[in-house]
Amino acid sequence: MSKEINFKKELIGNFGYPVWDNPTEAMVEAAFAHHDMKFRYVTTEVKAENLKAAFEGLKAMGYKGFNCTIPHKVAIIQYLDGLGESASIMEAVNCVVKRDGKYIGENTDGKGFMESLRTVIDPVGNNVLIFGAGGAARAVSVELALAGIKHLTIVNRSRNRGEGLVDLLRSKTNVEVELIGWQGDHEVAEDRDIIINCTSIGLSPEVVRVPVVKETLQSHMVVCDLIVNPPHTPFLSDAESRGCRSLDGVGMLVNQGRIGIKYWSGVDVDPDVMRKKIEEIYS
């Protein structure tokens, strides 16, 4: 019997600029190798002005899909054939999937976070406080709103960005939402159940603390940080020292990768392989 020979692999990309510090390829390739999948994930530096040409090239080469990151999450939408529900509410795409020959934009950031959060607490009916109003806060808050939380507080430094997110949530979801400006150390109200740092404060190599009055963090609260580098942030350590349950950003990263791979290939990969790779990278 002759041995089957097939050198062809299915291609997945990642468009961004800069992308040198994006760990997704290492994490996703670890899953491809573990499951012996004939897929390749290629991190590609694409500047804003080259997005259209890069996408045309990717289509010509028959890519199964790709991730897109800064600065393409909004700009890519004009070239796509359609959007999934949360991507269309967020007006931001981080994952493109080829379905029946059409390239559809999805947003897996918020979905990845929700899967991670549900390992600690069911957010339905809870009061949530989010620090930040950028892209990550938008993804997380839309998914929380769609999931049916009771109340959402957005705390953000710049009023404009905060108002933009609150307007979006009020116009496109039913969530009860308020905006609080961030001046000095924020005092977390006692009736908050889930606190999420969606800012870039604490991202390595900066050693900056999240401006919060630590004593207002209480043991009934679940405290989450989206930062993955370092995986365990000073904000989480502070929360743990107050008796809170904590959730790091690695779970979100791993889950969004796992959801993307499922979309592109249909394969449900082992998340532990990807977490191990991320922890190895940032140890």
Residues lying near ligand NDP in the complex (CB under 6 A) are found at 109, 132-137, 156-158, 161, 182, 198-201, 203, 226-228, 249, 252-253, 256
Q: Are 48 and 70 in contact (CB under 8 A)?
A: no
Cβ at position 258, least distance to ligand NDP in Å: 12
Query: From the CB of 154, what's the least distance to ligand NDP, in Å?
Result: 9
- Residue 255: exposed, middle, or buried by beta-carbon count in 10 A (0-12, 13-18, 19+)? buried
Q: Which of 59, 64, 73, 277 is catalytic?
A: 73
The residue among 223 and 252 lying less far from ligand NDP, judged by its C-beta, is 252
Spatial separation of the C-alpha atoms in residues 119 and 267, rounded to whole Å: 21
Q: Looking at beta carbons only, is 54 or 133 nearer to ligand NDP? A: 133
Name the residue among 283, 282, 260 with its Cα closest to residue 22: 282
Q: Between 28 and 82, whose beta carbon lies closer to ligand NDP?
A: 28
The residues, any chain, with a CB within 8 Å of residue 102's CB and separated by 6 or more, are: 81, 82
Nearer to ligand NDP by Cβ, of 107 and 265: the residue is 107
Identity of the residue, 134 or 148, whose beta carbon is nearer to ligand NDP in the bound complex: 134
Q: How near is the Cβ of 207 to ligand NDP at its closest, in Å?
A: 12
Cβ 188 to ligand NDP shortest distance, Å: 15
- Clarify whether 150 is annotated catalytic: no
Looking at beta carbons, which residue is closest to ligand NDP? 134
- Closest distance between ligand NDP and the C-beta of residue 208, in Å? 6
> Which residues are the active-site residues?
73
